[in-house]
Amino acid sequence: MKKQNTRPNLFPLRLQGTDGIRREVRPANSKEFKNLSPQQVFLDLGFITEDFMELYAFAHIGDLIKSGKMRRGDAVVVGWDPRDVHGTFTDAVIRGILKAGATALTIGIVPTPLVPTFMLYKNAQAGFMITASHNPKDQNGIKTFCAYRGMKLLPENDIALTKAIRLTDHAKLKKTPLKGKQKDCRDEALEVFQKFTLHPENAWSDPAQKGGGVYKKIVLVVDPANGSLAKIAADAFRSVGFGRVIEVNAKTDGNVNLNSGVGDLEGHAIITDKMIDKQAGDFRRHKAVLKLFELGRKFKAKILAGEKRVAGAVFDADGDRFYRLEYDPVKDALLVLSGDETAFLQAMYLIGRDPKRYRNALYINTVESDLNTAVAVKQLGLKPQLAAVGDKWILLQTAVMIVELRLKVLQKASKKQLPAAIKNSWNAIRKNGALNVEAFEKLENAIDSLEKKLAQKNALITPLDSTHFLPFAVGSEETGHNITTGLLELENGTRMPVFFGNGLKSALNTFAATEFLFQKKSVRAYFKAIHKPFKPGFKGTLYAYYIKKELFHNDSAIWKKVKQALMAGAKAIGFKGRIVKFPEDLDMLYIALTPAALKSPTGGIFVRNSGTENKISVNLRGDNKDALELKTIGEGALRLLMSALKDDNDHCYKLERNILDQIQNRTVPEERLVLDKNFRARLLAEMGKQKLIELTAKGYRLSARGKWYITSF
C-alpha cells in the first residue's frame, strides 16, 4: 500500500490527547523552526517548544478570565516532574500564567495527583502538571486540571481551549508584561500530600500497627522511575511500617523512565530468570527487577517459611501509575500485577470489609482491561461499567454519580418535584453526553443553592463529606491508573471526596488489600491468589510507532480498510463482529466478537491512536482458547496500519529504518549499532515493542515481522 505523504493544513478542533498534550521537545530557536509560529511547530512538525508551553498556559488562563470563570489574581497551581532539568519549559508555563494576570502557586517536582489535591485545598481556579508521564525523557507536555472537583478537560472544554490557542498571537504575547505574581508553596503542598496520603481512611492502614504491624515482614523495593515520587514514596512506605524499604531509580537528573518504571512492565504477567539474562534479557538493565531477584533469592528460604516477602512498588515519572511486583520463590520469578489485578484486589478488600456499603457499587474500567474482569466484578457483587481509554472518563463517571446522588437526596428532602431549571440542566447534560466540565459545575452550584434553602427550612441534607453515600468502589486502567475515593480536608476545614489517579495511594491500598485478604493463606496459596485474583483472559497489544496519526479516524480510508479486514477475520473464525461506538472516542474502532452459538460477546478487538505517544495499537481481548486466532487477525490489521501510516518524514522513522538496514542480513551486537546515543535507548525499546527486532545473545536481528516490514517498503 502506498503511504500518503500529505498532512492536513487545518487547525484541529481539539488539541488534547488522552491526557493533555505531549510531544518531543525542541528549543524554540531551532533553525528548522524559522518563520514558524509555536502552533505550526506543534502541529506541522510535531515538536513542543517552550514558546508553545507559554502560549498554552496563557491561552487557557486568559480564556478562563475572559469568560468570567476566574478573576485576575486568582491562583493557579503548577507542578512538574524532573525531566526538564534546566527549567526551560516549567519557567515558560509560569510565565504564561503571570502574563495572563493570575497568581502561580508553584510546588516544584511533585507527583501529578498533588496538583489537583493542592488546587482543591487552596481553592485555586486551575492546575497545570508539566510532564510527559511515562513517555521518554526527550518528551514533555502539560496535564490540565479544572477547579471543579479536579476534573480534566472534556471535549467541549478542549474545543474552547484549542480555539484560544489558535487565536493567540505569539508575537504579541512575547511583548506582554508579567501581570501576576508567583508564590512558592512547595513545603505546604508536600505537607498536604503527606497528610492526605497517610490518613488511615486513604491509606487503608491502621496507625496503631506502625512498626510492628502487617507490613513488617515485607522487604519492599520502590522504583519511582527517576521521577516525581523519588523519596516521597519510600518515606510513605516506611511511615506505614514496611519492614525494610529500598529505593532504586531515585535520581531526579532528568533520566525519567530510563530502565525503570512501569512502562517496561506493560504486557508482562511474569518476569522469569531468562528475562534478566545479561546478554539478551528484556529486563537486563531494569534496576528494580534486578534488585528484586537479588533480594528474593537471598531470602528464598525465609519466604518459603512465611517469615519474609520481597515485593516491588513501581511507578512512572509523574507518579500517577503503579504496578506491583512480587518475588515467587517456587517459580524463581517476579509476578507482575498490572492495573487490572491491583484494582480487583482493592475491590475485593472494599467489599470484604464492608459488603453492605459496597454492594452494587460502581467498578469502572476502560476498554484496555481484561474482559474477564467484568465477569469477576459481578461475582463480587459490584456493578461493572466500561469507559473509553483515559482516566478523565472515569472521573466523568464519578461526577455523574455524585450529581445523581445529590439530586436523589434533594428530591427526598424537598418532598416535591425538583425545580425545572435543575431538571433541565441535568437532562441537557445527559442528552449531550456530559462532555463539558462547566455544565457540571453550574448544575452543582444550583444544587448547593437549593440545599441552603432547604437547610433554612430545617430539611435534613447530609453533605457529601463522607464516602458512605457514594456508590463507587474502584476506577481502573490496565496501565496502572487506579482510582479509589479519597477524603481531603480543605484549608477551610471542610472535607470532600476526591477521585484522582494516584500511584502511591493505589500502592498503599493494594498492599493493605492483600494483607487483609491473604495474610493467613499458605505461602503457595498466597502467591497464587495475588497473581491471579480472577481468572484471566487473553490480552494482546500490537504497536506501530512513528506514524501519521491524523490519517486514522472515524470512517477514514484506512479506518474502513482495517474495519473490513477485522470483520472478515472475525467471520472466518466463527465470530459475529459488531461495531461498538464510544461517544467519548468516536475515532476508536471497536469490534465486539460474539461466537456464532452465543448471544453475548466473549472477545473484542479495538484499534486506536495513542493519545500520549506517536503510535497506534491493535488491542486483542478474549478467551485464552481464541488467542492464536485473535493474534492472526491482529497481525493482519497491524500490517495494514504500518503500510498506510508509517511517516517517512519523521526523524525517528528514519532512525528506525537505518537500524533495520544495519541488521537486515546479519545479527549485530548492540555496541556495534550505529545510532545517535540520544535516541538509542528509546529507539531500541520502541522497535522491540513493535516486534520488528529481536535481541539474542549475539545481538539484534530481524523478527518475522521485521523481515516482512523491511521487504514491504
What digits encode the pLDDT tens for the residues 641-693? Answer: 999 999 999 999 999 999 999 999 999 999 999 999 999 999 999 999 999 99
> Concatenated DSSP letters for 313-361?
EEE-TTS--EEEEEEETTTTEEEEE-HHHHHHHHHHHHHHH-HHHHTT-
Burial pattern 270-294, b for ≥16 Cβ within 10 A else e, equals ebeeebbeeebbbbeebbbbbbbbe
**Which of these, 429, 451, 450, lies nearest to 440 by C-alpha position?**
429
Q: Is 118 helix (H, G, I), strand (E, B) or coil?
A: helix
Q: What is the DSSP letter of 130?
A: E
- Quote the CA–CA distance of 683 and 411 in Å, as a whole number: 58
As assigned by CATH, the class of the 537-648 domain is: alpha beta
Which residue type sits at 443? Answer: L
For residues 51 and 28, the answer to whether their CB atoms sit within 8 Å is: yes
- Quote the CA–CA distance of 314 and 87 in Å, as a whole number: 26
Fold of 650-713: Arc Repressor Mutant, subunit A (1.10.10)
Q: What is the pTM of this model?
A: 0.95
**DSSP element (H, E) containing 182:** strand 182-184
For residues 75 and 102, the answer to whether their CB atoms sit within 8 Å is: yes
pLDDT at 5: 38
For residues 58 and 96, the answer to whether their CB atoms sit within 8 Å is: yes
pLDDT at 467: 47
CA 420 to chain CA mean position, Å: 38
**Which of these, 121, 134, 24, lies nearest to 477 by C-alpha position?**
134
- Quote the CA–CA distance of 363 and 348 in Å, as a whole number: 11
pLDDT at 411: 84
Fold of 21-185: Alpha-D-Glucose-1,6-Bisphosphate; Chain A, domain 3 (3.40.120)
Can you list the positions of beta strands (E) in 257-308? Answer: 270-271
**Which of these, 389, 341, 338, 390, lies nearest to 606 by C-alpha position?**
389
Beta bridge mates, 246: 221
- Quote the CA–CA distance of 242 and 220 in Å, as a whole number: 7
Find the Cα–Cα–Cα–Cα dihedral 401, 585, 139, 190, rounded to 10°: 0
- Other CB atoms closer than 10 Å to residue 692's CB: what's the count? 26
Q: Which CATH superfamily is domain 192-344+504-531 in?
A: Alpha-D-Glucose-1,6-Bisphosphate, subunit A, domain 3 (3.40.120.10)
For residues 524 and 508, the answer to whether their CB atoms sit within 8 Å is: no
- Distance between the two ends of the chain, CA-based, in angstroms? 9
- Quote the CA–CA distance of 224 and 262 in Å, as a whole number: 9
Burial of 561 (0-12, 13-18, 19+ CB in 10 A): middle
- Quote the CA–CA distance of 616 and 525 in Å, as a whole number: 39
Q: What are the structural domain ranges in the chain?
A: 21-185, 192-344+504-531, 361-492, 537-648, 650-713
Q: Is 106 helix (H, G, I), strand (E, B) or coil?
A: strand
**DSSP element (H, E) containing 682:** helix 680-689
Joined together, the cell numbers standing for residue 544 give: 506501530
Q: Is 540 helix (H, G, I), strand (E, B) or coil?
A: strand
Cα–Cα distance list, 34 to 6, 31, 232, 650, 685 (Å): 21, 6, 42, 18, 32
For residues 387 and 498, the answer to whether their CB atoms sit within 8 Å is: no
C-alpha Rg value of the chain to the nearest Å: 25
**Which of these, 609, 691, 685, lies nearest to 647 by C-alpha position?**
609
pLDDT at 8: 43
Cα–Cα distance list, 306 to 291, 301, 312, 390, 520 (Å): 20, 9, 17, 39, 10
- Which residue blocks in 367-436 are alpha helix, DSSP H? 372-380, 391-414, 420-431
The two domains 21-185 and 192-344+504-531 share their CATH topology (first three levels equal): yes
- Quote the CA–CA distance of 130 and 20 in Å, as a whole number: 10
654: left (phi over 0), alpha (psi -120 to 50) or beta: alpha
pLDDT at 464: 58
Cα–Cα distance list, 696 to 347, 446, 665, 701 (Å): 41, 64, 15, 8
Q: Is 633 helix (H, G, I), strand (E, B) or coil?
A: helix
- Quote the CA–CA distance of 481 and 316 in Å, as a whole number: 10
For the chain (713 residues), the mean pLDDT of every run of 10, in chain order, is 43 87 97 96 96 98 97 99 98 99 99 99 99 96 97 94 96 98 99 97 76 83 99 98 98 95 96 97 97 99 98 98 98 98 98 95 96 96 95 93 89 82 91 85 92 72 58 96 96 94 98 95 96 96 97 97 98 95 93 93 96 96 96 98 97 97 97 94 96 97 97 87
Burial of 362 (0-12, 13-18, 19+ CB in 10 A): buried
3-state secondary structure labels for all residues of 569-629: HHHHCCEEEEEECCCCCCCCEEEEEEECCCCCCCEEEEEEECCCCCEEEEEEEECHHHHHH
Which residue type sits at 577? Answer: G
- Quote the CA–CA distance of 262 and 131 in Å, as a whole number: 16
- Quote the CA–CA distance of 48 and 39 in Å, as a whole number: 9
pLDDT at 3: 42
pLDDT at 414: 76
Joined together, the cell numbers standing for residue 332 give: 524463581
- Quote the CA–CA distance of 117 and 129 in Å, as a whole number: 12
Burial of 545 (0-12, 13-18, 19+ CB in 10 A): buried
pLDDT at 454: 79
**Which of these, 618, 643, 646, lies nearest to 631 by C-alpha position?**
618
pLDDT at 470: 87
